[in-house]
Structure 1
Amino acid sequence: MALLHAYLNFNGNCEEAFDFYKTVFNSPLTGVYRFGDMPADPEHPVADADKNKVMHTSLKINDSVMLMGSDCLESFGQKATYGTGSYLMLDTQTAAEAQDLYNKLSVDALNIEMPLGEQFFAEIFASFQDKYGVAWMIHFEGNKKMG
């Protein structure tokens, strides 16, 4: 069975975002590759200004889930756009875990759609865009189990 991991793109602030996510998930990076680490390709040269940008990084959220990311390079015709077309949903084991993740991830949030609170479908739920524009949901079903 395949594992599903979240891969996030950024416009030059991937390293800053992952420094933040390291503190949220209390997990070190598994490594960082930079665009300057790539073998030179005369057909696709990397601008000096882009060489220190993140080509790929990741951290483990738990033993089977990873959060991965990279910077987009405008010089390669790439640009990350944010919105609510997709969310990363954190389905927690306890209300305390949901509260802790919300407290950490929502710092300087760009938009709190639903603050952490009780819903008819969950003991605790929230949806928001973090300070990097990434859309998150935090969910603890608790005593609201369906069926």
Structure 2
Amino acid sequence: MVVQPYVFFNGRCEEALDYYCAKLGAQVTFKMRYKEAPPDPQNQPRPGLEEKIMHANVRMGSTDWMASDGHCDPAATMNGFSLSLTADDDASAKQFFNALADGGQVTLPFQPTFWSKGFGMVVDRFGLMWMVTVPDS
């Protein structure tokens, strides 16, 4: 069994993926826009979604996750979950944390804790909550 996060960016998927690729080393391994999907008369996308991302596969380190623009619903919010990014070393963890904090909101500054040499929490510019940690080894 495999469980993977599937993140909906409410119309900002392309921007988010470009940012994660540039700042976190993510790789988009597959991307399909709504206009590229086979026609389905029973489930046609809303006009204006043609260039939006219907589905993308993303690789970050050894983790694969999925992303989409979703239905671009202005009332949509992201809450109830967080992505946890475990860095290989303190310098990388601080770099990742600072990249995610740029344009976002720090909810817990990156700092040593009783369980880690460094841990911080941030909601990035796309509304996605991240927990960045470096192992205490």
TM-score, structure 1 normalization: 0.83
Secondary structure at 2:11 match in 1? coil
Partner residue of 1:130 out of 124, 130, 133: 124
Q: Which runs of 5+ in 1 are unaligned?
A: none
User: For the Cα contact (< 8 Å) 2:58–2:67, is it kept in 1?
Assistant: no
Residues paired across the two proteins, number: 137
Partner of 1:98: 93
Secondary structure at 2:108 match in 1? strand
Deviating more after overlay: 7-16 vs 46-55: 46-55
**Alignment deviations for residues 9-38 of structure 1 (CA, whole Å, 9 cap, x no partner):** 011111111111111222432121011111
Partner of 2:12: 13
| 1:71 to 2:66 alignment | no
**Alignment deviations for residues 41-84 of structure 1 (CA, whole Å, 9 cap, x no partner):** 2222223311111011122112x31232001115xx8964212x
Whose helix fraction is larger, Structure 1's or Structure 2's?
1
TM-score, structure 2 normalization: 0.88
Q: How does 1:109-124 map to 2 (within 5 A)?
A: 109=104, 111-124=105-118
- Indicate the percent of aligned positions where both proteins have the same amino acid: 28
Q: Which runs of 5+ in 2 are unaligned?
A: none
AA aligned to 1:12 is G
Report the alpha carbon displacement of residue 5 of structure 1 after superposing the two structures with TM.
2.8
RMSD value, Cα: 2.0
Partner residue of 2:78 out of 79, 82, 88: 82
Q: Residues of 1 paired with 2:27 and 2:86: CA distance?
A: 21
Q: Residues of 2 paired with 1:9 and 1:22: CA distance?
A: 17
